[in-house]
Structure 1
Amino acid sequence: MSEDQKIVVFQSGSEEYAFPIEHVMSIEKVTTINPIPHLPAYVRGMVDIRNELVPVLDFEQILYGSPAKVEDARIIVIQTEGLFSFGVMVKEAKEIIDILKDQIKQVSLLAYSQTKYFTGIVHLEDRLITFVDADILVQSLGGMKEIEAYLEETVKV
């Protein structure tokens, strides 16, 4: 018997992606993002979410090289295994759905070194949803280790 898994489906560009729900802390409307100079282009800046400073990554910038439009965008706040929180700005947070774990298919293109954070694809009727591993995403982006270290230091103060 296959096990159910809940996923948060979101849109970036014209494609659908998903994070496993156990990594999603909240979904927020985009408010004021405070830009920080000299950060990588994919980091939009920092936001204060429930008295916690959270870096915001622009998923469209990461995937397509162009910044997302802020109006109507959402921030999906993710908790990584290292207890590091970050926001992912997406075009639209669409829904939370249940899938069976055996519906997640591995595709050889997912092994490409530039997109290691894509860990599988779910094919549902007329939809393809690409799985994103938040931990691998953070580890694969240049500059994120420094941002994580900075945030850990500010928490200690």
Structure 2
Amino acid sequence: MNSLKYIVFRIGNQDFGVPVSFVISIEKVIDLSDFPQMPKYVKGLTTIRDAVVPVLDMSQILFNRTLETNEDGIIILIDINGSQVGMMVNEAKEILDVPESEVKEIDGLFSQNASYLIGVVRANDTLINLLNPIEMLQNIDGIDEIIEQSRQTVN
């Protein structure tokens, strides 16, 4: 039976998973710099392993509300086709091994409005929404320009 590994993270009181294959590292939020004229979903820029990366507010992207964080916020650094992006979340919880047969596809209205959702899985009596980070980024207006601007930023 085929299975995939997901990093499970929390935003507010909901759990999400992103495939481990996209994750570079999980970092504590430190030294987040504002970047002028950025959309609400960009929390700022940070330097991780000598790379300047944009940090996205996952609560803003998924729920259209600002992530309530403190200094304990977490950045999940992902790589999408050679571009590094930080996803700011409340907490990273675990690595979950998910058999493909247990992933339930989302259909109807939800799938039309959220093409970046792979499906849902139940683990530890909790529903976990599984995200496709490639689809998610493709649905964010202006993300390519933001990634390019962060690459051009000099420390």
Count of aligned pairs between the two proteins: 151
How far apart, CA to CA, are the structure 1 residues paired with 2:124 and 2:145? 42
C-alpha distance in 2 between matches for 1:58 and 1:135 = 16
DSSP-derived class of the 1:138 partner: helix
Deviation at 1:63, TM superposition (A): 2.1
How far off is 1:86 after superposition? 0.2
Amino acid at match of 1:60: S
1:110-149 Cα distance to aligned partner (Å, 9 max, x none):
4223x22111111225111001111111110111021233
Q: How far 1:54 sits from its partner (Å)?
A: 0.7
Distance 2:110 2:134 in 1: 16
- Tell me the distance in 1 between the aligned counterparts of 2:56 and 2:65: 12
TM-score by length of 2: 0.90
Structure-to-structure mapping, 1:71-110, within 5 angstroms:
71=70, 72-80=72-80, 82-108=81-107, 109-110=109-110
Contact 2:24 2:78 in 1 (8 A): yes
The Cα shift of 1:5 comes to: 1.3
Matching residue's letter, 1:73: G
Aligned-residue sequence identity (percent) comes to 34
Q: 1:45-95 CA distances to partner (integer Å, 9 max, x unpaired)? A: 110001001100001111222221331210000111x21110000011001
Root mean square deviation, CA, Å: 1.6
Residue 61 (structure 1) aligns with? 60
Question: Residue 78 of structure 1 aligns to which amino acid in structure 2?
Answer: I
Query: In the alignment, which residue of structure 2 is the partner of 1:136?
Result: 135
User: Which segment drifts farther, 143-152 or 101-110?
Assistant: 143-152
Contact persistence 2:53–2:147 (CA under 8 A): no
Normalising by structure 1, we get a TM-score of 0.89
* Separation of aligned partners in 1, 2:110 and 2:145: 27
Distance in 2 separating the partners of 1:125 and 1:89: 24
Flag structure 2 segments of 5+ consecutive residues without an equivalent. Answer: none
- Please give the alpha-carbon distance, in whole angstroms, between the structure 2 residues aligned to 1:10 and 1:130: 10
Residues of 2 paired with 1:15 and 1:143: CA distance?
26
Q: Is the alpha carbon distance of 1:110 and 1:119 closer, same or farther for their aligned partners in structure 2, counting shifts above 3 Å?
A: farther
2:20 aligns to what? 21
In 2, Cα distance between the equivalents of 1:110 and 1:65?
Answer: 16
The answer to whether the 8 Å contact 2:105/2:120 transfers is yes
How far 1:150 sits from its partner (Å)? 3.0
Q: Which amino acid aligns with 2:17?
A: A
Distance in 2 of aligned mates of 1:90 and 1:110:
22
